Structure 1
Amino acid sequence: MKRFLIEREIEGASQLSVDQLVAIAQTSNAAVDSLGVPYTWVTSYVAGNKIYCIHEAEDAETILEHARRGGFPADLVNVVAAEFGPHTADRNPVVATAG
């Protein structure tokens, strides 16, 4: 499966209550269950008027179908090309040498 970053524009997202987030999670889980294909909701982050989600699916069309079934916006859907973090700095770089 591919990993996708989804941006959802939701006015007042950062003011959503815990109960509202629970309801959104329940709706999302139900939408995942209804798809009938491999699909994983990894996590979501709320920042300002946006919710950023990481999901795994075979293709972007499945991501958009999940959004449609859940009644969520999916303003941007991008395949994650690479992941890195502080631990990446510990990896020894490969240095090309001229022959």
Structure 2
Amino acid sequence: MKRYIIERDLPGASQLTMDELAEITRTSNEAVASLGVPYTWVMSYVAGDKIYCVHETDDAETVREHARRGGFPCTLLAEVVAEFGPETARRLAA
């Protein structure tokens, strides 16, 4: 499966309560279950007036369909083509 980063504009996102985030979670889980294809919601992050999500599935249109079914904004959608972190530098030393 491919990995996607989704940016969702949601004014006031950083003020959402845990109960509100739990409701968003329930809605997202229901949307995932209704897709009928392999789909994994990996994690979401709240920052300011945005929510950033990491999802895995076979194509971008399935991510957009998840957003439609859940009633979520999908401001920006990008396929992750590489991942790296602090340990990546050790590859150069080897």
TM-score by length of 1: 0.92
Larger radius of gyration: 1
C-alpha separation in 1, matches of 2:50 and 2:84 = 23
Unmatched 5+ stretches in structure 1? 95-99
Structure 1 residues 50-79: Cα deviation after superposition (integer angstroms, max 9, x where no partner): 000000011110000000000000011100
Say whether 1:20 aligns with 2:23. no
Say which structure is richer in helix.
Answer: 2
- Pairwise CA distance, 1:91: 1.1
Cα root mean square deviation, aligned:
1.1
Match of 1:89 in 2: 89
Matched, 1:49 2:49: yes
> Among the aligned pairs, what percent are the same residue?
66
Gaps of 5+ in 2: none
TM-score (norm 2): 0.96
Counterpart Cα distance in 2 of 1:65 and 1:93: 43
Secondary structure of the equivalent of 2:92? coil
